[in-house]
Homo-oligomer: A and B are copies of this chain.
Amino acid sequence: MRLAIIGTGLLGTSVAMAAARLDSVEVVGWDPNPESLAEAAAISGMTPAASAADAAAGSDAVVVAAPVARLAGAVSDALVAAPEDSLVTDVGSTKAGVVAANPDPRFVGGHPLAGGETGGPGNARADLFDGATWYLTPTDGTAGVQLERAFRLASDLGARPRALPPEVHDRILATVSHLPHVLANVLVAEADATLAEEGEPLPAIGPSFRDSTRVAGSPSAIWTDIYLANASALIERIDGIVERLGEVRGLLESADADGVTAWNDQAAAQRARIAAEQVSGGDMRSVRVAVPNRPGVLAEIALALGSAGIDLADLQLHPAADRSTGTIVLWIEGDGPTEKAVALVRQLGHTVSVR
């Protein structure tokens, strides 16, 4: 398989390094910055291409790892240059815009939840994606064969692929990623102002503050675009936070001890619920689904499982010889998630067997 990487920063170079661990994958790459490309090639062993189009042409899969502001155009260019049976995917942090701009059956939006405070190929790692969730955002126009390849690629790179509609992805990321960044920024600003007021230039910062502000002022070159691309979802969440802060303020002002305790206990329960849902484990099961070979069927199944929080460790599509029907094999970890997946896929009207 030939894999093209467009954009060789932290994520693109890490994709190349993770792919280099695989057998029989040839990686070519391109970056608008020749120095970054040379560094990435030296680190990862990828072959530098003369242009983005040269990289995409003749590749089985193209991973576009461009900045969010240039993403839609870079994906579009890749789709023009790539073969007609190639997968084109990306690794951008917001998905609705790039997906709407590229209604091509070969394009599958993607977003690995991995990265770091410091970008650039020099910080890339072959194990960056190991165990990380890798969101894929197919639509009903996405081709099954390309979606299968996207799942396989994310899984081969060490990640856990999960399908979500692009708009849901953006709303969730607004909450679990973009909002924490906004809160970290306003918290350091508030602390800076307080400490200046108090003439206490060397505050002893507790661990709660350090943890809460670790991502404050993440690189603007990346984050300005993310904030703006996801502005409407983020504004909703900011409004939610302001409302909740108003409630706490009221409890404090009225010295309502029972109310403060109830609010704080609820937060403990919410945190425990979210944390418990992170835990997974168990044996790997394969779920075989017989499906008609029509467009969108794989996306429908993947989205149903993704929306139910079921990670697919792998996914294979086996069309029958006459291509009128096929079998999808879903690899799922743990008995609980497997049973849930079987029920969901049956609800969609398919025949299912488990091994």
Contact = CB atoms under 8 A, between A and B. Distances in A.
Contacts of A177: 206, 208-209
A213 interface: yes
A260 B195 CA distance: 24
Task: Determine how many copies of this chain the complex contains.
Answer: 2
Interface string A166-199: 0010011011110111111111111111110111
A274 B192 contact: yes
A325 interface: no
A262 to B, nearest CB: 9
A248 interface: yes
Nearest to A134: B204
Interface in A44-71: none
Interface of A is mostly: helix
A277 interface: yes
A348 interface: no
B201 A172 contact: no
A71 to B, nearest CB: 15
Nearest to A190: B240
A268 interface: yes
Interface string A278-293: 1000000000000000
A227 to B, nearest CB: 5
A194 B175 contact: yes
A35 interface: no
A234 interface: yes
A172 B190 contact: no
A235 interface: yes
Contact of A264 (B185, B212, B252): B185
Interface stretch (A24-32, A122-130, A218-226): A218-226
A38 interface: no
Contacts of A266: 189, 217
Interface centre among A208, A224, A245, A310 (most CB of B within 10 A): A208
Interface residues of A, number: 96
A164 B206 CA distance: 16
A113 B271 contact: no
Given A200-B309, A211-B211, A190 B274 contact: no
A133 B202 CA distance: 11
Contacts of A263: 185
A351 interface: no
A194 B231 contact: no
Contacts of A194: 171-172, 174-175, 237, 240
A223 B192 CA distance: 24
Contact of A274 (B181, B188, B198, B199): B188
Contact of A267 (B174, B184, B202, B257): B184
A77 B234 CA distance: 52
A198 B171 contact: yes
A174 to B, nearest CB: 8
A187 B179 contact: yes
Contact of A135 (B183, B204, B241, B248): B204
Given A190-B244, A203-B274, A228-B252, 11 more contacts: A172-B198, A174-B194, A180-B208, A180-B211, A186-B245, A186-B267, A189-B244, A189-B267, A192-B273, A205-B278, A220-B260
